[in-house]
């Protein structure tokens, strides 16, 4: 695990956006995991898997990873390789199966139209489905080189609108929306961004 986290640090040094994204995704995934009542071991695996979920981006060229505009078809296909690359990086570890499945499956879709394996519904590992929701939330609400982030209110509207359209597990979206609503009604923020 130490070597893997060293690799994650190397990726962070190469791309600041990936560093804050991994921290935010981990935080949101852990909040959702707690909401779902995961046990201590599942929470440990979820946290470490979320931290490592984009490690394969180390194999994506900078001109694609940091491109300020919209990716063309070839570039998007290269980006889509990162879950598989992460899985391959994690494969030699004896204890990597859990982390590998999170990384490999966090871009699968509930309706089966995701990648890299076209898994659907509960065939997608639960922890990967959790990371998918956390990943989407951070992607929507964080500034990217190619567009500004949405407000929490706008991103919440997207989640609620898309809940039954097939991208994410609708039950997980429902639970995540509860977390956001609770945060929005409190005087402190669970969702302070990593800097």
User: Which sequence positions are flagged as catalytic?
Assistant: 57
Q: How far apart are CA 159 and CA 176, in angstroms?
A: 9
Do residues 29 and 168 touch, judged by C-beta distance below 8 A? Answer: no
**Separation between Cα atoms, residue 161 and residue 56, nearest integer Å:** 31
Q: Rounded distance, CA 40 to CA 142, Å?
A: 29
Q: In which element (H, E) is residue 149 found?
A: none
**How many beta carbons lie within 10 A of that of residue 20, not counting itself?**
16
CA distances from 130 to 62, 99, 112 (A): 28, 13, 16
* 75-105: burial string, b at 16+ Cβ within 10 Å, e else: beebbebbbbbbbbbbeeeeebebbbbbbbb
The set of residues, in sequence order, having a beta carbon less than 8 Å from that of 30 and lying 6+ positions away, is: 43, 46, 47, 50
């Amino acid at each position: 695990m130490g070597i893997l986290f060293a690799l994650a640090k190397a990726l962070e040094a190469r791309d600041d956006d990936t560093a804050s994204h991994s921290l935010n995704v981990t935080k949101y995934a852990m909040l959702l995991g707690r909401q779902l009542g995961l046990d201590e071991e599942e929470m440990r695996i979820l946290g470490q898997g979320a931290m490592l979920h984009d490690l394969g981006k180390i194999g994506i060229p900078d001109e694609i990873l940091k491109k300020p505009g919209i990716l063309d078809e070839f570039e998007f296909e290269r980006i889509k390789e990162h879950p598989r690359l992460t899985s391959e990086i994690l494969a030699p570890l004896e204890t990597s199966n859990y982390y590998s499945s999170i990384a490999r499956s966090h871009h699968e879709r509930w309706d089966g139209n995701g990648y890299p394996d076209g898994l659907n519904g509960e065939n997608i590992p639960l922890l990967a489905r959790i990371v998918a929701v956390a990943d989407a939330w951070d992607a929507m609400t964080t500034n990217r080189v190619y567009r500004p982030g949405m407000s929490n209110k706008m991103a919440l509207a997207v989640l609620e609108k898309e809940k039954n359209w097939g991208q994410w597990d609708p039950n997980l979206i429902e639970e995540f929306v509860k977390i956001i609503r609770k945060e929005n009604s409190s005087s402190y923020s669970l969702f302070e961004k990593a800097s």
